[in-house]
Amino acid sequence: MTGPSDGFEAGKPDGFSAANVEKIMQHFDGLPDDGVRVGLSCIFSYFKYRPETVQQSLRNYLQAAEETDTPITVKLDGEQWWDARPDLWNWWDPDLPGYDPDNVSNVEWTGWGPEYALKSAWRDWGRQIRVRPPPNLMSPAYRKACHEALEPLLAIIMDWQRSLPKEKRDLLVGVEVGWESAIGVNHFYPKEGDDYLDLQAKDDPRFKKDRSQLLNRGGKTQGYAAAYTGGIRKSGTLEYEDQVKIVQRHLEDLSRVLRKAGLPRSRIFTHGWGNEDGEALYDAAVNRYSCPGWSCYWYSHRMQDDSGINRGIRESDAEYWAAVEWLFRFEFKKEPWIRAFKSTLFHRNCRYLTFYNWSAIMEKENGDQIIEAVHEVIKEHNRE
């Protein structure tokens, strides 16, 4: 997985160049052109920047992949970042763009009513980030906006795919929807969150969520807005199973949009999430329009023990599954990484593995050992 520090950021189209692709791919020169291959994955958050900017970045990415003969995946995200759509989330501040009190229906609530609507949330991605309020995944306005944003992006992908010479049409490995799709996980809201809304983000205390508390992750329970809007429940006690149902509907809807655009199911992947105990949220990644995908951290070196992912694989009738976000977080040495790569990539019908934090790998003193591990795994497999 590449990112901003590698020059690949959907808000900066010029970074998606063949030269930047080659800077990464040169580390894998000499590997076979068939069998298991090394490629790139990039994220296009379509609500984070102006639509025309994201679209141009995608065009440049596809062109660079073709020019360098690099297999790619494309992640289309409208869930984690939606800063450029205050017309959807700004329900409270008339001094900010997009203000509309009716937007209270487009964000999540922590109770049965708009008086519980959120204004912010917190995310822990190696560092704590204060983010916009989580979207109401069942809001008609939000769903319509996702569809409208996806339409031109999918047209770009399909036009490019059709224009490729026959021998290059496998360069597009997959298109992903969702990004650790969940409720209250990457939009965590602590129980005392209201006390910090008037602070500068830099002054926020450090919050810690508890993955084992399924309904609220140790903070305030979310999902009321989506459950109410989606007709799942309108009063009483919100259940964890309601949250799972919401996320499943969300991912199925996005997958359906990709299928209608012409992508085959074998190239559509969801991005689900779950904790190390194999919680039911893993099941939300499974639907009839796509192949399931998940973040793989807890058992990246022993996939046979990952109860959530293995259950999802069994439940899915798709051709493949994918480790759409993967990292081995234990020993930073070649041999353990070889075992971890093999454990995931060759587990059942895995289509691909996307290991995150490429830049962090390269900054390590012994990062070259991870590159050597990739070479050895691919060469060994392709000899078999």
314-339 pLDDT tens trace:
999 999 999 999 999 888 899 999 99
How would you label 23-33 residue by residue, b for 16+ Cβ within 10 Å and e otherwise? ebbebeeebee
Distance in angstroms (rounded) separating the CA atoms of residues 153 and 236: 40
Beta bridge partners of 128: 124
Quote the CA–CA distance of 244 and 374 in Å, as a whole number.
Answer: 35
What pLDDT score was predicted for residue 34?
83
307 vs 246: CA distance, rounded Å = 22
Residue 33 has a pLDDT of 85
pLDDT, position 382: 79
- Which pLDDT score, from 0 to 100, does residue 358 have? 80
Q: Parallel, antiparallel, or unpaired for β 128-131 and 121-124?
A: antiparallel
pLDDT at 19 (0 to 100)? 97
67-70 LR contacts (CB < 8 Å, sep 24+):
67/18, 67/21, 68/18, 68/21, 68/22, 68/25, 69/33, 69/168, 69/171, 70/21, 70/25, 70/39, 70/40, 70/171
- Using one digit for the tens of pLDDT, what is the confidence trace for 135-163? 999 999 999 999 999 999 999 999 999 99
Tokens of 120: 């912010």
Please list the ranges in the chain whose pLDDT falls under 50: none
Looking at residue 209, its pLDDT comes to 92
Q: Residue 141 to residues 182, 307, 361: CA-CA distances in angstroms?
A: 19, 36, 40
Q: Quick count: other Cβ atoms within 10 Å of Cβ 269? A: 31
pLDDT at 1: 53
Instruction: Name the residue ranges covered by the structural domains of the chain.
Output: 4-375
| Rounded distance between C-alpha atoms, residue 334 and residue 338, angstroms | 6
Class of the 4-375 domain?
alpha beta
Q: Which has the closest alpha carbon to 135: 85, 190, 171?
A: 85
In degrees, rounded to 5, the angle at the alpha carbon of residue 322 between the alpha carbons of residues 295 and 289 is: 105
Q: Any idea what the Cα angle at residue 2 is, between residues 251 and 153, rounded to 5°?
A: 45
Which residue, chain included where needed, has tokens 């234990």? Answer: 330
pLDDT at 384: 62
Query: What pLDDT does residue 242 have?
Result: 99
